[in-house]
Amino acid sequence: MELISGGICAAKGFKANGIHCGIRKNRTKKDLALIVSDVPASAAAVYTTNLVKGAPLLLNMRNLSDGKAQAVICNSGNANTCNANGIQIAKEMCVLVAEATGINEKDVVVASTGVIGQPLDITPIAEGMEELKMGLSYEGSKDAAEAIMTTDTIAKEVAVEFVIDGKTCRMGGIAKGSGMIHPNMATMLVFITTDCAISPEMLQKALSADIKNTFNMVSVDGDTSTNDMVTVLANGMAGNAEITEENEDFAVFMKALNTLTVNLCRMIAGDGEGATKLLECIATGADDEETAKICAKSVICSSLLKSAMFGADANWGRVLCAIGYSGARVDVTKIDVSFRSSKGTICVCENGAGVPFSEEKAKEILLEKEIEILISLGDGKYSASAWGCDLTYDYVKINGDYRT
């Protein structure tokens, strides 16, 4: 298992592009992305559990009902959510891709991200399709990654190489996500491609299992978006025997998928709106996996703890507080807490009570860009990780005038 370059285009047979078509007023920012497979692909997706869903998601549930897709189109700057004609606009985006590429419109995944409740004009998308199609490239991942960004400060792309059935397979992904991040299925927008051959049923099983320990464990601000979606396309061009059951090959595929998604989770959490630090909470010693996950997620979601991390304040009481109201059944008298970064590790709590520690050393540790919050819940064998970021003044500034 090896991380490689190439992003969404690392897998054989995938082209991508991203352009500015005019949805966003700032002409320096791309706002329309297209990803195309040379051949039809198995497809799987997971969607937000928010009852208010963007029109693209509702259409995708129909388009992907057969487990097949060949292209993805995504715009930024407008979420196409809560619009009377939202479904129609989403359909028209699929039709535009079909007319430009020859792909069946029902084999197109459509996505939108940006402001909720503003009508999406199809005109700039239609006028930009020729440029978008003509610029498709096997090296176009970065352009597509930039085109799906909203308040993101960096483009997020990862790729991994692995071997199945003696064949070298590749998997790549791009993601957007900076604010409105608190999923309960997937998170933000994530597009993943692979040239590994796998049936739609097994692809869906792999994705649905993976997100429980990856994207579902990310939180920036406690808000679950209306447009969250993770989509995977597998075109089989690596030439391996198709994975149709849970066997050794499926286990390798799952490991590759997890390697990719964990890296994207860290990128998303670290690029939270206004964030200065990536936080990872690692809960160990739990009696069951669910307890470990509940505790880790509760800590990473605590606004008070996130604020303390911004201020490099080793306020460990906020960790215990978050565990205490999480709903998890734990023995508080067995909880240990430490903070760790590249500057070292410091224990601040043992058996549910504070221990003497150097505030100066703690501050040095917490001033780093990546911080681990280590929690031992007892002597159980289960563990879980959750990812988030600190809470800063800039988060309020960004969201105070996001629409205007």
Percent of the chain with pLDDT over 70: 95
Q: Is the pLDDT assigned to residue 398 strictly greater than 80?
A: no
Q: Give the mean pLDDT of 14-37.
A: 95
pLDDT digits (tens, 9 = 90+) for 310-359: 999 999 999 999 999 999 999 999 999 999 999 999 999 999 999 999 99
> What spatial distance separates the first Cα and last Cα of the chain, rounded to whole Å?
45
Taking only the tens place, the pLDDT of each residue in 262-288 is: 999 999 888 877 789 999 999 999 999
The reported pTM is 0.89
**Domains, the chain:** 2-270 (3.60.70.12), 278-400 (3.10.20.340)
Binning pLDDT at 50, 70 and 90, where does residue 62 land? very high
DSSP class per residue in 298-339: HHHH-HHHHHHHHTT---THHHHHHHHTS-----GGG-EEEE
Strands 278-286 and 370-376 come out as parallel
Q: Where are the alpha helices (DSSP H) in 180-288?
A: 200-210, 248-270
Catalytic residue among 48, 150, 151, 187: 187
Would you tell me how many other CB atoms lie within 10 Å of the CB of residue 42?
24
Pick from 173-177, 309-313, 320-324, 371-375: least confident: 173-177
For the chain, give the number of residues.
404
pLDDT of residue 177: 78
CA 354 vs. chain centroid, Å, equals 35
Check if 187 is active-site. yes
